[in-house]
Amino acid sequence: MLRFIFYLHLLLCVNSAGGSAPYTPTDYILLDCGASSSSWNTQAEDGRKWFTDERSKFAASNSESASFASTASRQDHSVTQVPYMTARVFRDQFTYSFPVSPGLKFLRFYFYPVQYSSFDGTTSFFSVTANNHLLLNNFSASLTLSVEDGQPASLIKEFMVPCFETEKLNVSFSPSPNTWAFVNGIELVSMPKNMYVNHQENSLTLVGYKVPFDIPDATAFETVFRLNVGGKTVGNVDDTGMFRTWLDDSDYIFGGAVGNTPSRGKNVTIKYSEDTPAYIAPAIIYTTSRTMVVDPEINMNFNLTWNFSVDAGFTYLLRLHFCETQLEVTEEGQRVFDIFINNQTAEHSADVIHWSGGNSIPVYRDYALIVPTEAQSKQTLWLALHPSKDVGSKFADAILNGLEIFRLSKSDGSLAVPNPQPEPAPSPTLPSVGRKKKKTSVSPVMVITITVFSALLALCLIICFLIYKRKVKRVKDSAVSVQKSSWGQLPCPSNSTCATSVSLLPSDLCRRFSIIELKEATLNFDDQFIIGSGGFGNVYRGRIDGGSTTVAIKRLDSSSRQGFREFQTELELLSKLRHVNLVSLIGFCDDHGEMILVYEYMHRGTLRDHLYKTKNPPLPWKRRLEICIGAARGLQYLHAGVKHPIIHRDIKSTNILLDENWVAKVSDFGLSRLGPLFQSHVTTVVKGSVGYVDPEYYRRQQLTEKSDVYSFGVVLFEVLCARQSMIPGLPKDQVNLARWARICYARGTLENIVDPNLMGDISPLCLQKFGALAESCVRDEGTARPMMNDVVWGLEFALQVQEATQRDMDMDTGGDEATVMSSSQTSSLVSKGAAGGGTTTSTEDDNEELFSVSGGKVSESRSTISSVGRSDGDRIKSESVFSEFKNDNGR
């Protein structure tokens, strides 16, 4: 199995490397140091062929005894055979001399500091020079790695070395006293002229001095960061021919304000230009980006900020890559922003379209920054973007697609920096190209083992916990006095044991946060992180667990303690509800009378954000149907899947949220069900929800599940027509969407009010089914409306109709590809609503068993859905395993 994957992986990479890259290096040397010349396998997993340095023509007249080859005594999962498993060890100074053409060259060193046969790589200190540049001084690969996140096993150092007046690049390794030096691999790649250093006038600004800056030819560089902003890591064989690696930028975003990563760009063709030729960066860099959030008001109040740990006492070169790929931004003045580097204005009123000349045309800008010597050798480099204030831009927003940061050699030619202090406490990271890899790359066997094991562990814990909880509850119930702020009925058994149970339990169950944790997550509930608000208080976006997890934090107005009991009851209820189509509650905080709920964060925001009054592209019909099915399932679960039916009361398109896989999740359930605190929430929000309220409920003041069905029907029409549920200024019949849609339906003119973006997308039969279903939901009499069960099945049927039509269309137009697609579509007909993948589906199953599901019929039919869904999910999972491997190139 493992071998098969590697084999396949190899094929994939060979193919991708075999493609015609925009640049073909004139100098290209790959040395697998210490490899035996008889070794047959010098092809690395990324498909590149390496050559041994044994008796190499590159080894300059060194004495035979100066070096020897050695083999690593173990192979970490993240470490590839070539070039890491063999090393050349130097007892004395040793020089490789490479013939080169004039220009700047990439020089990459590969180090794997472990125990070797007859040599200990972990205790090795050495210096490396390239011509007259000191690149590394008394360098320890082991110490450098020890302070990195995730404890990677190997590292790559990338330099750019000038070779202008010579035809040789001499690279020398010199061991520090009493140790030996070593290296596993050396890579030398040329680059196009003027790639990073361009002596044209004013091409580079010195930040803070407003003067042009010229980089002398004799300068050497070390790459300290190279990021694919808003996208995934891009491996070296996917680069433009220079084998650069571009890492995901998410680890470097400061605070919780991560902004947006619009997906629209993925399908555009990047139009390279004379100013930005195709070799500058691969198209994937320009197609992904990070922008700010959708709301201009929020954007004006925060900076999109990255922070980096850098060495003081050097000049840095920052290259920022930009490209507008969103359809909405096509003209100058639409997205204008300021660029701050280290809190100084590097660029005022940056306008990508102005620079590039149009949508999808990439452009880059270079800035030089002096980071002066300070007491601390490590400093933080800040990069921040903010919408320009004085321009009155149409979209208050900013964008960045890619980022490269280089450290420039000092005037004596040196790039050397001290080794990091090997302190046990977590210290600032010293990132280098390729550090992210080690964190993510795990063998598939490991993945499976860990998954199975943790699933079992989680199950055991849940069962033990439920038993325990039942006992606790019984004890509590018998006690007469109920402490005011006791959380005895919550999943955390008691205050004192809570902390330990938190660390043991998977986040499936409710977790208790301290107020300090949540203040850290939101920079003390800073307004810039507010993503929503209502009568109950504000909702913030925040990052917990050291920034690794983004969550939504709902802080209920704590001024009235009246609602505290309701809050507790509510929480007990919420913590038991688990469904793939409900936004899950992660935890809560009750410190100092706070009432805070922590939910999973939904990356794509609300359904309404994708329907109208939005910058988001219109959704295709099939996706809309899938979203409706998901939301309907969530509601069905609330109504029929739990012991006591829960009426949501506030179903609307802004309470249906979407995760990154477009799985729809109902939010705000239960909160409006009980007690005066949450009642007030309903009344204050009535204005916003007015188009959704069941007229029968108005008349009779009686709340039933059918009220939710009515509101859901309104949502269905919103999805179909992409308009608000209530538009006051219109002619009387048209003001209320539900009423207007019913009139149109009765007249047989429903297609006239369908969202124009859906023209040709939605099949007539599907429209008929969908229209009939939605109409039945918004009937005046509750008894004439269907149950949520029926709504789910009706929607699933509509989806089948739609897919069948699409299949027919594909057959008519299509070649092989269409046929293949349609057969996979059939197999997952009903499961698409759960497109989130296998893991979510299976949690849902577990919970259905644990949290008493009613209705044999429902759960039976559900389980067939789940089983189809699961096989679909497995496919997704194995694909992601593959892609992890694919990303692993050359590490």
Ligand X SMILES: *[C@@H]1O[C@H](CO)[C@@H](O)[C@H](O)[C@H]1NC(C)=O
As annotated, the active-site residues are: 650
Residue among 169 and 853 whose Cβ is closer to ligand X: 169
# residues contacting ligand X (CB under 6 A): 29
Q: State which residue, 332 or 520, has the beta carbon closest to ligand X.
A: 520
Q: What is the sign, positive or negative, of the torsion defined by CA atoms of 622, 628, 630, 632?
A: negative
- State the minimum distance, in angstroms, from the CB of residue 842 to ligand X: 29
309 touching ligand X, by CB under 6 A: yes
Q: Does 386 bind ligand X (CB under 6 A)?
A: yes
Q: Among 13, 197, 229, 384, which residue interacts with ligand X (rule: CB under 6 A)? A: 384
Site string for ligand X, 122-161 (x = CB under 6 A): ---x-----x------x-----------------------
| Residue (207 or 597) nearer to ligand X, CB | 207
User: Cβ 419 to ligand X, closest distance in Å?
Assistant: 5
Residue 296 in contact with ligand X, rule: CB under 6 A: no
In the bound complex, what is the minimum distance in angstroms from residue 255's beta carbon to ligand X?
5
Applying CB under 6 A, does 176 fall inside the site for ligand X?
Answer: yes
- Does residue 76 come out as left (phi exceeding 0), alpha (psi in the -120 to 50 range) or beta? beta
Of 344 and 734, the one with the shorter C-beta distance to ligand X is 344
Nearer CB in complex with ligand X: 372/856: 372
> Is the CB of 14 or the CB of 59 nearer to ligand X?
59
Site string for ligand X, 399-438 (x = CB under 6 A): --------------------x--------x----------
Which tokens in the block code for residue 139? Answer: 């360098």
Cα(881)–Cα(201) distance, rounded to whole angstroms? 48
Q: What pairing do the DSSP bridges indicate for beta strands 363-371 and 204-206?
A: parallel
Q: How far is the CB of 298 from ligand X (least distance, A)?
A: 10
Least distance (Å) between residue 365 CB and ligand X: 17
Which residue is listed with tokens 């109040």?
301
340 contributes a contact to ligand X by CB under 6 A: yes
Identify the residue among 20, 118, 267, 813 touching ligand X (CB under 6 A). Answer: 267
**Which of residues 67, 236, 289, 303 is near ligand X by CB under 6 A?**
303
> Least distance (Å) from ligand X to the CB of residue 793?
29
Write the CA distances from 604 to 259, 660, 710, 818, integer angstroms.
11, 6, 25, 29
Question: Would you count residue 617 as binding ligand X (CB under 6 A)?
Answer: no
User: By C-beta, is 37 or 343 nearer to ligand X?
Assistant: 343
Cβ at position 267, least distance to ligand X in Å? 4
Is residue 348 close enough to count as binding ligand X by CB under 6 A? Answer: no
With CB under 6 A as the contact rule, which of the stretches 42-50, 307-315, 584-592, 785-793 interacts with ligand X?
307-315
Q: Are 174 and 127 in contact (CB under 8 A)?
A: yes
What is the C-alpha to C-alpha distance for residues 158 and 185, in angstroms, rounded to an integer? 12
Q: What is the separation of C-alpha 34 from the centre of its chain, rounded to a whole number of angstroms?
A: 39
Dump the DSSP string for 273-286.
Answer: -SSS-TTSS-HHHH
Across 176-252, the runs of DSSP E, i.e. the strands, are 181-183, 185-190, 204-206, 211-212, 221-228, 247-248
Query: Could you check whether the bond before residue 83 is cis, i.e. omega within 30 degrees of 0?
Result: yes
Of the candidates 276, 252, 269, 285, the one whose C-alpha atom is nearest the C-alpha of residue 365 is 276
Site for ligand X in 41-80 (CB under 6 A): 60
Is residue 548 involved in binding ligand X (CB under 6 A)? no
Helix (H, G, I), strand (E, B) or coil at 400: strand
Does residue number 194 form part of the binding site for ligand X (CB under 6 A)?
no
Does the protein bind ligand X through residue 389 (CB under 6 A)?
Answer: no
- The CA-based angle 373-379-381, given to 5 degrees, is 115
User: Exactly one of 93, 307, 680, 734 binds ligand X (CB under 6 A); which one?
Assistant: 307
Q: Please identify, using beta-carbon distances, which residue of 75 and 305 lies nearer to ligand X.
A: 305
Instruction: Name the minimum Å distance from CB 291 to ligand X.
Output: 16
863 binds ligand X (CB under 6 A): no
Asked whether position 621 contacts ligand X by CB under 6 A, the answer is no
Q: Does 166 bind ligand X (CB under 6 A)?
A: yes
Helix H or strand E encompassing 99: strand 94-99
Residue 459 burial (CB count, 10 A): 15
267 or 783: CB nearest ligand X = 267
Residues 6+ apart with CB under 8 A from 32: 42, 50, 51, 52, 53, 82, 83, 86, 184, 185
CB of 520 to ligand X, least distance (A): 9
Give me the least distance between CB of 760 and ligand X, in Å please: 13
Of 712, 293, 752, 314, the closest CA to residue 530 belongs to: 293
- Which listed residue (170, 679, 724, 828) binds ligand X by CB under 6 A? 170
Q: Is 797 in the site for ligand X (CB under 6 A)?
A: no
Query: Does 232 belong to an annotated binding site?
Result: no
Which residues does 528 contact at the CB level (< 8 Å), separation at least 6? Answer: 257, 298, 301, 302
**Residue 36, interface with ligand X (CB under 6 A)?**
no
Q: Dump the DSSP string for 611-654.
A: TSSSSSPPPPHHHHHHHHHHHHHHHHIIIIISSS----S---TT
The two beta strands, 511-512 and 585-589, are parallel
> Which long-range CB contacts under 8 A does 697-705 form with residues at least 24 apart?
703/647, 703/649, 704/647, 704/782, 705/639, 705/645, 705/647, 705/787, 705/788
Burial 826-864 (b: 16+ CB within 10 A, else e): eebebbbbbbbbbebbbbbbebbeeeebeeeebbeebee
Cβ neighbours around 109 below 10 Å, total: 22
Site for ligand X in 201-260 (CB under 6 A): 254-255
| Residue 93 contacts ligand X per CB under 6 A | no
Exposure pattern of 252-286 as b/e (b: 16+ CB <10 Å)? bbbbbbbbbbbeebeebebbbeeebebbbbbbbbb
Footprint on residues 364-383 left by ligand X (CB under 6 A): 380, 382
User: What DSSP designation does 33 have?
Assistant: T
Query: Which residue type does 649 have?
Result: R
- The window from 42-50, 154-162, 298-306, 503-511 that contacts ligand X (CB under 6 A) reads 298-306
From 166-174, 225-233, 498-506, 638-646, give the range in contact with ligand X by CB under 6 A. Answer: 166-174
The token pair at 272 is: 């390279």
- Residues lying near ligand X in the complex (CB under 6 A) are found at 60, 97, 125, 131, 138, 166, 168, 170, 176-177, 254-255, 267, 301-303, 305, 307-309, 340, 343, 380, 382, 384, 386, 419, 428, 547
Q: Which residues are annotated as a binding site for ATP?
A: 554
Q: Which residues are annotated as a binding site?
A: 554
